[in-house]
Amino acid sequence: MTHAQSQHFIDQLNWDKSPLIPVVVQSYCDNAVLMLGFMDQEALRLSLETKVVHYFSRTKGRIWKKGEKSGHIQKIIEIFLDCDNDTLLFKVEQTGSVCHTGRETCFFQKLDFANASLESLGTPLDLSEHYDVIDTLYHILQAKKNQDPKQSYTASLYAKGENTIGKKIIEEAGELSFAIKDNDPNQIIYECADTIYHILVGLSYKNISPDRVRSELKRRFAFSGIEEKRRRE
């Protein structure tokens, strides 16, 4: 699709309610619902012109090509528009697993009405080779939000809220500082891991992807540390 053709289609959508349009994604071969994503106009234009799905990630705060790390891309076969012109349906050919958990669909948690509990369906694939340890841990922490606080330490932190999470970050950072002062390499590594874990819990609690922190660090490469500090004063 040419740029002019894609823009013509984009202009037909109703963007009055939000700068993001929800996109329901189905498997072309069997109509299984794979996921729900969101697109801004640029992500939709890229999707139309490349025939590979791009989203606007609300957690990453940027346009995100599905499968950019894992290679599990979505090739667009058909596109449908709803009656209000504000929701899209994509039918795709999915390469690999669609979910970051390694499952074939993002909708793998089934509600048990009798017990008011969630049951996880399907067996996840091992995607550790596609994601670094920070991203893998962040995804694990996100999944902990639906777990029993009595059974999961992470879930118990979420249940107690931002004050407790913030206090734990301060506590762990203090222990890391003392380990550095004591010049104990093994303890420094141990306390640093604890600090990073609790920082990621805080990011996960606020649904902020580590990718946004990476982007901020990359942005700072263009400035000296002194200049960056002055910009914030």
Q: Is residue 81 part of a domain?
A: yes
Q: Is residue 70 part of a domain?
A: yes
Q: Please indicate, yes or no, whether residues 144 and 56 belong to a single structural domain of this protein.
A: no
> What per-residue confidence (pLDDT) applies to 83?
95
Which CATH number belongs to the domain containing residue 141 in this structure?
1.10.287.1080
- Domain's final residue, options 33, 66, 94: 94
Ranges of residues in the chain with a pLDDT under 70 are 126-130, 225-233
Could you tell me which of 32, 43, 33 has the C-alpha nearest to residue 68?
Answer: 43
The pairs formed by 2-8 with CB atoms below 8 angstroms and a separation of 24 or more are 2/49, 3/45, 3/49, 5/48, 6/44, 6/45, 6/48, 6/49, 7/45
C-beta separation of 155 from 205 below 8 A:
no
Q: Give the 3-state secondary structure of residue 27.
A: strand
Phi, psi of 110 (to 5 degrees): -105, 135
- Domain's final residue, options 94, 112, 146: 94
Q: Please indicate, yes or no, whether residues 143 and 217 belong to a single structural domain of this protein.
A: yes
> What per-residue confidence (pLDDT) applies to 5?
93
Question: What is the number of structural domains in the chain?
Answer: 2
> What per-residue confidence (pLDDT) applies to 118?
79
Q: Is residue 111 part of a domain?
A: no
> What per-residue confidence (pLDDT) applies to 233?
62
Q: Please indicate, yes or no, whether residues 150 and 221 belong to a single structural domain of this protein.
A: yes
The CA distance from 11 to 106, in Å, is: 30
The CA distance from 31 to 29, in Å, is: 6
Q: Is residue 121 part of a domain?
A: no
- Where does residue 137 rank: exposed (0-12), middle (13-18), buried (19+ CB within 10 A)? middle
Q: Is residue 118 part of a domain?
A: no
Q: Please indicate, yes or no, whether residues 136 and 56 belong to a single structural domain of this protein.
A: no
C-beta separation of 87 from 13 below 8 A:
no
Q: Would you tell me how many other CB atoms lie within 10 Å of the CB of residue 114? A: 6
Q: Would you tell me how many other CB atoms lie within 10 Å of the CB of residue 184? A: 13
> What per-residue confidence (pLDDT) applies to 79?
97
**Beta bridge partner(s), residue 54:** 65
Q: Please indicate, yes or no, whether residues 69 and 152 belong to a single structural domain of this protein.
A: no
Q: Is residue 140 part of a domain?
A: yes
C-beta separation of 203 from 213 below 8 A:
yes
- Domain range for 216 is 132-232
Which CATH number belongs to the domain containing residue 13 in this structure?
3.10.20.810
C-beta separation of 79 from 1 below 8 A:
no
Q: Is residue 106 part of a domain?
A: no
C-beta separation of 204 from 141 below 8 A:
yes
Q: Is residue 102 part of a domain?
A: no
